[in-house]
Amino acid sequence: MKRKKAVLFAILISFVLLTAGMFLLCTGMRFSSYSSAVYTESARELENPYIGWYQMFEYILSDTDSFDPVPVEAQEQGPGLAMLEINLQNYRECPVSSKGLAQLEEILDTWQSTGRQLIVRFLYDWDGNGLEKEPGDISLILTHMTQTAEIINRHTDCVYILQGVFVGSWGEMHSSGYLDEESLLALINRLDAVIDSSIFLAVRTPEYWRVIARSHAPLSASQAFGGSLSTRLGLFNDGMLGSDTDLGTYGSLDALDSAQYYGKLTRRAEIEFQNALCDYVPNGGEVVIDNPFNDFPSAAADLAAMHVSYLNRSYDQAVFSKWSESVYTGDSPFDGMSGYDYISRHLGYRYVLRSSSFRSTASCGKTAWLSLVLENVGFSSCYRSFDVSLILKDTLQPAEYVLPVQTDTRLWSSGEEVQLDIPLDIRSYATGSYDVFLKISDPVSGCEIFLANESDSDRADFFVGSLEIKKFPDLESLAGILIGK
């Protein structure tokens, strides 16, 4: 009798397993397992767009002289910043001629072919004589803005920031007859109206930002990238770290009256203001004059607090020599690196993949999730939104799946971690073994974004881990089914 029961029980189990197997085959269930790669932070220099050291190039628009494209064509191709100063002094008494505008178009066309991202500044003076060199009537400056905007807007894939409002010595918004409140607002509002909204504008001081934004408070996360003038208005500082006031960028006021927007706050207050504002708009410029405020430890702290993403590689060589002779010490891959190299590697955004994890269920109809944790260890965010995708590459077949990841990389703030929870519809993928990669790219410049992780590959798509997808469960998965997990 016992033997008969055992036979019946065996038949019943076989029937259950056969039925379960047929069910699994018919419903297309998949069972998955994941193995994470090992992630190690790297101290290597990254060639990513919109950040780092820029080179400056000067051009004077003219009806008589021609533009020589050869020096530009000799530039190394790829991501990196260049600043173009476009001098309009030949047109200080008249609109820019068709020849002058054609020359501007040729300059931008040639630079566009290099793959560089451009910071552009229009000006009338290179000699510190802004009052003498700028036009005698603001209406002509407004005309120049409208004329040049038509050409700038045809190069939105390479023009990143337009600095200044055309006036002042060296175009730096000082020593000008047009920086009273009425004139300043007329100039910046014209630029806002005629320059494509994808291009950032920038003014010389936090004081000017407050006057233009009509606000004592910097941007908040809820306001950022909203399309208004204040949300595309960054800063540039060509007196950076040059003195207690950054050569007049800051002042002595502890606070402003509620009805007052003009006024320069103390260094500490203005750096706190930039710390909040420049999470959402770019900040950069020139470091000048060897002094205690640009000693390496102080400089690194202030550049991080101001979220500086770009600096002139030519100014100031005395300061750069001091940084090169300094040494960074700390519990990080940068320990023992020169101060100059440490700052170079932290200008702008710098993303490190810290960890990944995987969760799934053996129950029918459930989605698996891959979670990635990244940290931005750079001084700033990136102010252009990148495309992020997960790529599953079959290790045996020439097949892959590309999964767009929903995230706004502009909000990957400096010093913070971000977690990406990526759904995987395991049933829609063929069975097999997959290498999983993370890819970040810029849809505007076409550049790929490199992570600050050690890698055996020079490719920008970074190996995250290995995923196994099976049609039949292993013993652990089967046990989960039988007990209803």
More confident residue, 394 or 11: 394
Can you give the pLDDT at residue 457? 80
Say what percent of the chain tops pLDDT 90: 84
Please compute the mean of the pLDDT values over residues 195-218 and round it to a whole number.
Answer: 97
Q: Residue 357: CB partners within 8 Å, gap ≥ 6?
A: 36, 370, 371
Asked if pLDDT for residue 364 goes beyond 80, the answer is no
Asked if pLDDT for residue 108 goes beyond 50, the answer is yes
Structure tokens at 166: 């055309």
CA–CA distances in Å: residue 108 to residues 16, 273, 379, 418, 477: 72, 34, 29, 37, 60
CA distance 153 to 114: 18
CA distance 280 to 223: 9
Cis ω for the linkage preceding 316 (within 30 of 0):
yes
Q: Residue 53: CB partners within 8 Å, gap ≥ 6?
A: 81, 310, 311, 312, 313, 344, 347
CA distance 389 to 373: 14
Longest Cα pair distance anywhere in the chain, in angstroms? 115
Q: Name the region of 63 (left: φ>0; alpha: ψ -120 to 50; beta: rest).
A: alpha
Least Cα distance to 60 among 18, 103, 29, 97 occurs for 103
CA distance 5 to 337: 76
CA distance 340 to 319: 9
What residues are paired with 265 via a beta bridge? Answer: 253
pLDDT digits (tens, 9 = 90+) for 28-67: 567 889 999 999 999 999 999 999 999 999 999 999 999 9
pLDDT digits (tens, 9 = 90+) for 400-448: 999 999 999 999 999 999 999 999 998 889 899 999 999 999 999 999 9
